Structure 1
Amino acid sequence: MSRVIRRAGVLTSALLAILFALLAAPGAQGAQAAQAADPVRVMALGDSITGSPGCWRSLLWQRLQSAGHTNVDFVGSLSGQSCGLPLFDDNHEGHGGILATTMANQNQLPAWLAAADPDVVLMHLGTNDVWSNQSPATITAAYSKLVGQMRANNPDVTVLVARILPMNASNCGECGQRVVNLNAAIPGWAAGISTAQSPVVVVDQWSGFNTATDTYDGVHPNDAGNVKIAARWYPALVPYLS
């Protein structure tokens, strides 16, 4: 009887050893890793339309959460604009007054990328360049440098780039047409730089946006404008959250 018990004990030990080996196998480890996957890191990159206060980011965050896209981390070196809305992940990289050309020429982006390490970038840049009468070719050249810096930080980065909001500012009468000219150049630029590994996707923030009803000064979005901006980013972003 004792021999049978000892034999059963040996078999039990062997079975446990096999079980532990299976759990330690690459497939099991992969399953465990999948269950604890890192969140998708999303950087909102731009100027005051993105960051001062950039209330569309709160609306976008709330919509993502309510739709079950909870494995998302908004990243960036800036925060602190609550917009009087429910708490949300307020990290971003929206620098008021910044130009895409300045950001590129002064190599400001690499340090922000290194700290935030985004998987997806939501880029609405060019409004201040338009105001400063930079040409579409100059602005898209800056875009190219910025995308190159994003890829140097993360070769698999996805860049969602906006056709920027329209402008109707009393002290920049030509800005409206300059925006039209820049936005006309963005799709061709994006198609030329996009790759399968690192797609550059155009998000049309211009069409259907009314400076009379969706801004408070002809440039910056009001509450209605923020709703429209969030609504345009949402369907473009969701496919890259898996």
Structure 2
Amino acid sequence: MRLKSSVLSSTLLVAAVMALTGNPAVAAPVRYEAETAPATCAGTVDSNHAGYSGSGFCNADNAVGAAAQFTVTASAAGTATLGVRFANGTTTARPADAVVNGSRITTTSFEGTGAWTTWVTKTLTVSLNAGSNTIRFSPTTANGLANIDSLDVDATGGSTGGNGRPNDSNIQYYGRWNTSDSAYYAMGWAGGYLDAQFTGSSIGVRQRNAIDLYYSIDRGPLQWRRNVSGNVTLATGLSGGSHTIRIGYRERAGSYNGDPVFGGLILASGAQTMPLGRPTNLIEFIGDSITVGQPNANRPFTAYPWLSAEALGAGHTQVAQGGACLVSRDCYGMMDWFRRSSAWATYDDWNFATYQANAVVINLGTNDIGHGVSTTQFQQGYIVMLERLRQAYPNAEIFAMGVFRNRYVPETRNAVATRNAAGDTRVHFVDTAGWITAADTTDNVHPSDAGHAKIAQRLRPILDQYL
């Protein structure tokens, strides 16, 4: 039942409150004991560690999937706060999938509590249906779960229904969006997307001009609707209760001039949106066409930024543009352009208070050599960019990747060392030597989908050490 040193927190429907306390952290809860039916324990119900409530606790088997499951009741569909009371007498955190009504919501962590008799509560916010719901904590490693004592459920808050318009506060945006047109929010850079939860049997989206959009219903596989405009129906015949949707757009680039704007959700009669939590962590990826995922057809969700962040249960953004450089010399110099809302902004217009990234990953240097940037200029420019990123994101872990074509790698490493020497210990060099070969690319430069998967497999555990 162990995890890595970091905590994998919430994904689409769960916002984990990262506070551990000795008492339940939710107000006016209903308590469900792990040892009392209809709760189930894939292991034994024990009582040999003092401090538990009720008559015992669930000591699940040390195996993947050996879960503790609760059946809880909500008077109405809406959000609920869960307080999971547990003890972990080891020094290693133990990861588990939180599964609500059969759908995996998040991978969360049960950290070491110091002793098996020390019980603490972790709080999560989830969405429940009206009536009976199952909440299952299923370990993801052979070490199994922490000991689970009880689950406190506060489902009294109900939900605040929204109308699905672009300014609906229940819609969660990721990436840089221009909101100056209240009818159509415009996606800046690549890889922007939005998540929402809604009721009703159908869902659609309002578009302006033609665009390729991708979407997912209830966290199912992402699928495309190509060259659509106007009112676009995405799903009908959905079952009762609530559902989730993710929508994103192909980026404008090269000769493709699609209109990546969001004009709001089209809800069924009487339906509404519902509050939706955000992941604890947000990762921003800054780069060129490789970070965009070009030229692969299913970018951005087959590109390494998307794959890495999704595997960590994190939100993500891609501030990236084909042909971008680090230094501004006849190309998009991202040391300057990362401060803008899109590649079409004419000045540094982005407000960094809109969101704060927990981590920033830089992959720049592939294109600078073609614009005559010297090694000295590159290293100095990289130092400036790292300084600017620290100003923009005071608390972020910053990762400077050596580019896959082995260009300016010593200069990238030296820039990181300079910032470390200046006292910024949260800047890290990522050595990518050997991560991919020419066989993992489409043209000896751009990774194939399989190449992106290899990169994500190597990058994810590096990020996981710090999140």
Which TM-score applies when normalising by structure 2?
A: 0.35
Would the aligned equivalents of 1:56 and 1:230 in 2 still touch at CA under 8 Å?
A: yes
Q: Structure 1 residues 230 and 97 mapped into 2: Cα distance closer, same or farther (>3 Å)?
A: same
Residue identity over aligned pairs, in percent, reads 23
Letter in 2 for 1:42: I
Would the aligned equivalents of 2:286 and 2:338 in 1 still touch at CA under 8 Å?
A: no
Instruction: Point out where structure 2 has 5 or more consecutive residues left out of the alignment.
Output: 1-20, 27-121, 125-277, 342-349
Q: Report whether the alignment pairs 1:35 with 2:123.
A: yes
Q: Give the aligned partner of residue 209 of structure 1.
A: 436
1:104 Cα offset (Å): 5.3
Q: Give the aligned partner of residue 132 of structure 1.
A: 371
Distance 2:464 2:324 in 1: 27
1:240 Cα offset (Å): 2.0
Q: Give the aligned partner of residue 222 of structure 1.
A: 448
Distance 2:376 2:392 in 1: 25
1:136 Cα offset (Å): 2.1
Q: Give the aligned partner of residue 305 of structure 2.
A: 57
Would the aligned equivalents of 2:279 and 2:315 in 1 still touch at CA under 8 Å?
A: no
Would the aligned equivalents of 1:123 and 1:162 in 2 still touch at CA under 8 Å?
A: yes
- SS of corresponding position for 1:141: helix
Distance 1:151 1:59 in 2: 25
Distance 2:335 2:307 in 1: 32
Q: Segments of 4+ in structure 1 off by > 3 A?
A: 34-38, 103-106, 195-198
Distance 2:334 2:283 in 1: 24
Higher percent of residues as helix: 1
Which TM-score applies when normalising by structure 1?
A: 0.63
Letter in 2 for 1:45: I
Distance 1:58 1:74 in 2: 7
Q: Give the aligned partner of residue 141 of structure 1.
A: 380
**CA deviation digits over 1:152-190, x for unaligned, max 9?**
122222111111011xxxxxxxxxxxx44x112322221
Instruction: Point out where structure 1 has 5 or more consecutive residues left out of the alignment.
Output: 1-26, 76-91, 167-178
Superposition pairs of residues 155-170 of structure 1, within 5 angstroms: 155-166=394-405
Q: Give the aligned partner of residue 133 of structure 2.
A: none
Letter in 2 for 1:40: N
Q: Give the aligned partner of residue 315 of structure 2.
A: 73
Would the aligned equivalents of 1:160 and 1:200 in 2 still touch at CA under 8 Å?
A: yes
Count of paired positions:
179
Aligned with 1:47 (options 277, 280, 288): 288
Letter in 2 for 1:133: G
Distance 1:35 1:45 in 2: 32
**CA deviation digits over 1:198-237, x for unaligned, max 9?**
51111122324212x0111111111232122112211110
Distance 1:145 1:104 in 2: 12
Q: Structure 1 residues 197 and 187 mapped into 2: Cα distance closer, same or farther (>3 Å)?
A: closer
Distance 1:221 1:143 in 2: 24
Distance 2:433 2:372 in 1: 19
Cα-Cα RMSD: 3.0
Would the aligned equivalents of 1:48 and 1:95 in 2 still touch at CA under 8 Å?
A: yes
Q: Structure 1 residues 184 and 106 mapped into 2: Cα distance closer, same or farther (>3 Å)?
A: closer
Would the aligned equivalents of 1:203 and 1:232 in 2 still touch at CA under 8 Å?
A: no
Distance 2:445 2:334 in 1: 25
Distance 1:127 1:48 in 2: 10
Superposition pairs of residues 74-89 of structure 1, within 5 angstroms: 74-75=316-317
